Structure 1
Amino acid sequence: MTNAKQVAVVTGAGSGIGRATSLKLAANGATIVVVDFNQATGEETLQLIKDAGGEGMFVQANVALQEDVQNYVNKAVEAYGCIDIFFNNAGVLQTFAPLANIEEAEFDRIMSVNVKGVFLGLKYVLQVMEKQGSGVIVNTASTAGIRSEHSMAVYSASKHAVIGLTKSAALEYVKKGIRVNAICPGGVATALTAAVPEMIARTGYVPEELPNMRMGRYAEPTEIAEVVAFLASPASIYMTGSIVAADGGLTL
């Protein structure tokens, strides 16, 4: 089956930035392939899209597993014939800890989702887009990929890696009709950031420095979704390999 509408694949689409961006892209006319590890929240996002008059499908996936990534890419192409937009967004947050206290299992957990998941998404979506001769990819990095955050060494390393993958992919595919950019949010009002006070209470550890929200608040997911939609649109046609901070001045 082919689809005249643009087709967007969004990972981590069950909540937060992923859900807000799925709804924004759907409102702009795209058909959305909703990808999330959590089936219940992923299906909720799909229902919200349909309730607003949009179209799409849900595919459950662990983005750190090659077969799951291949499956969501294959399902998208089988159903709609192409992938025009890929929001490579799924990620997890590290438990605050000094670097020397971080367990190897925590390192592996963060890297498997935040780096391997982004790599695998790029690997298989780029194959589709190269055959098409077109496509736009937006990776979710973080302000922690621009500078480190205290007590988040592994998370910071993972987001620096996302920026490296973004620039490499942009360089290699710039002459093949494919643009690859990254967005770097600061604090965003999502389930991840909502869990931070609980994390501090559970571990009893408070970082010596916490991010300075210069605007006095977290971003709303919809505010980040607007930037992603811009990067996914022809309005950003001359941008590739760009690392776009949407952080309320956090990195100033």
Structure 2
Amino acid sequence: MSTGLEGRSVIVTGAGSGTGRAAAVRFAREGAYVLVADLRRAAAEETVKAVAEMGGTALSVVGDLSDQRVVDQVVDTADEAFGGVDVLVHTAEIMDRLSVVSETDDAEWYRVIEVNLTAPFLLTRAVLPHMMAEGRGSIVFTAAEAGLRGSIAGAACTAAKHGVIGLVRSLAVTYLGVGIRTNAIAPGGTGTGFPGAAVSEVHGDNVLAPRFGGTGRVATVEEQAAAIVFLASDGAAHINGTVLPVDEGWSAA
């Protein structure tokens, strides 16, 4: 069955590795044109190479997406190279140190919120006029178990991921009438190579670390990517405002 993604323009953030790279490759396999956005040049270039080796089309833009200039470069590049933006996927994120509120310093709070919530907001805001002009679009965020409960991450990451879910629902309601769908996946444990929290704080470590582990095996990045591509595809045309746990039932336990 066709996913309807052939010839579509797709931006994937955090596409230099992990779930982002897997999603970029999967979109390309479906015939989409992919803009790889990542903070690391070498990683972004590796993803572009992986797409090219399978006969797909990808370009990269390198930079910090909390910088409006980088955001504008990403959107302008996709528009000029691929003729617009049909799909936006947010997978770029960082983890906190399992710091609870009393242990979270300003630097950790602001950086986690900046990367996990502000950057997706800025890029979404920049993409919306392009989607509205076409009368269609699909946006897929990465929430997390930390967006569904208060016991899986520190204060900063928990607040950011709850904010992501609020943003997803706001977008779903306010842009439905112009043909734009917004959804999110909420991954459980995933073998991304993503560095875990550097726990050192006594209270945060003692309270939160015992709650990790989920309810089964660790997911592959390809399984997370499959959920992302589905939500972006025509097969999910009537799905809007959904936060889809991809966690083998962890969130149901």
TM interval, short-chain normalised: over 0.9
Matched, 1:232 2:232: yes
Give the 3-state SS of the residue equivalent to 1:139 in structure 2. Answer: strand
- The count of residues paired between Structure 1 and Structure 2 equals 243
Matched, 1:117 2:101: no
Q: Is the 8 A contact 2:38 2:63 kept in 1?
A: yes
Deviation at residue 207 of structure 1 after TM alignment:
3.8
- Name the amino acid aligned to 1:230: F
1:241 match: 241
Deviation at residue 150 of structure 1 after TM alignment:
4.7
Q: Structure 1 residues 65 and 53 mapped into 2: Cα distance closer, same or farther (>3 Å)?
A: same
Q: Is the 8 A contact 1:211 1:250 kept in 2?
A: no
1:250 match: 250
Query: CA-to-partner distance for each residue in 1:71-91, whole Å, 9 max, x for gaps?
Result: 100111011111111102211
1:212 match: 213
CA distance in 1, matches of 2:60, 2:227: 23
Q: Is the 8 A contact 1:13 1:34 kept in 2?
A: yes
CA distance in 2, matches of 1:228, 1:148: 24
Once the two structures are overlaid, the 10-residue window that deviates more, 204-213 or 234-243, is: 204-213
Deviation at residue 211 of structure 1 after TM alignment:
1.9
Query: CA-to-partner distance for each residue in 1:187-231, whole Å, 9 max, x for gaps?
Result: 111122xx227x24xx3753432323211x221100001101110
Q: Is the 8 A contact 1:150 1:207 kept in 2?
A: no
CA distance in 2, matches of 1:170, 1:243: 11
Specify which of 133, 140, 144 is matched with residue 146 of structure 2: 144
- Name the amino acid aligned to 1:109: R
Q: Structure 1 residues 107 and 234 mapped into 2: Cα distance closer, same or farther (>3 Å)?
A: same
| Alignment TM-score, normalising by the size of structure 1 | 0.92
Q: Is the 8 A contact 2:61 2:74 kept in 1?
A: yes
CA distance in 2, matches of 1:35, 1:157: 24
CA distance in 1, matches of 2:99, 2:201: 10
1:165 match: 167
- Name the amino acid aligned to 1:116: T
CA distance in 2, matches of 1:89, 1:121: 12
Q: Is the 8 A contact 1:34 1:45 kept in 2?
A: yes
CA distance in 2, matches of 1:103, 1:129: 38
Deviation at residue 151 of structure 1 after TM alignment:
5.2
CA distance in 1, matches of 2:138, 2:166: 17
Give the 3-state SS of the residue equivalent to 1:183 in structure 2. Answer: strand
Deviation at residue 131 of structure 1 after TM alignment:
0.9
Give the 3-state SS of the residue equivalent to 1:226 in structure 2. Answer: helix
Specify which of 37, 41, 50 is matched with residue 43 of structure 2: 41
Specify which of 169, 179, 189 is matched with residue 177 of structure 1: 179
Give the 3-state SS of the residue equivalent to 2:35 in structure 1. Answer: strand
Query: CA-to-partner distance for each residue in 1:3-32, whole Å, 9 max, x for gaps?
Result: x81111000000111001001111111111
Q: Percent identity?
A: 34
CA distance in 2, matches of 1:190, 1:166: 23
CA distance in 1, matches of 2:239, 2:103: 40
CA distance in 1, matches of 2:8, 2:24: 13
Once the two structures are overlaid, the 10-residue window that deviates more, 165-174 or 206-215, is: 206-215
Q: Structure 1 residues 49 and 150 mapped into 2: Cα distance closer, same or farther (>3 Å)?
A: closer
Q: Structure 1 residues 213 and 27 mapped into 2: Cα distance closer, same or farther (>3 Å)?
A: same
CA distance in 1, matches of 2:160, 2:206: 19
| Aligned positions of 1:1-252 closer than 5 A | 5-150=7-152, 152-192=154-194, 195-196=195-196, 199-200=198-199, 203=200, 206-208=205-207, 209-215=210-216, 217-252=217-252
Give the 3-state SS of the residue equivalent to 1:196 in structure 2. Answer: coil
- Give ranges in structure 2 of 5+ residues lacking alignment: 1-5
- Give ranges in structure 1 of 5+ residues lacking alignment: none
Deviation at residue 98 of structure 1 after TM alignment:
2.7
- Name the amino acid aligned to 2:192: T
